[in-house]
Amino acid sequence: MSRLLLVHWNAKEAKAKARTLKGLGHTTEILCDSEKPNLGRVRESPPDLFLIDLNRLPSHGREIAGYFRRAKATRQIPILFVDGNAERISRAKQLIPDADLGKSEKIETA
């Protein structure tokens, strides 16, 4: 189906979400706190969708989203923010107005 980049700041939770996405037929790479992000590699081989979890360290997720939106190679790739409270979602939407918003449990129907 699609090649996704999941941005999440907890490796254990990210792996669980990636398994769910794989079960839905998506190839999923993870960008999380346990590794130094190689953003240059992402620009060289961009995914079909950036899936950014706002449940943990939402400011980090917004920062990464801003980076992807400013980079020429990734600015046209859709961004989906998932989870987080209303304030986190509002801030993310202000930064990236064209991003979509959702909940992890609704990804299957999306």
Q: What is the mean pLDDT of the chain?
A: 84
pLDDT, tens digit (0-9, with 9 covering 90-100), for 41-71: 788 889 999 999 998 888 888 999 998 999 8
Q: Coil, helix or strand for 104?
A: helix
Per-residue pLDDT, 69? 92
Structural domains of the chain, ranges and CATH numbers in brackets: 3-106 (3.40.50.2300)
Kindly state the helix (H) or strand (E) to which residue 7 belongs, with its residue range: strand 3-7
Per-residue pLDDT, 90? 84
What is the 8-class DSSP label of residue 96? -
Per-residue pLDDT, 84? 81
pLDDT, tens digit (0-9, with 9 covering 90-100), for 17-30: 999 989 888 899 98
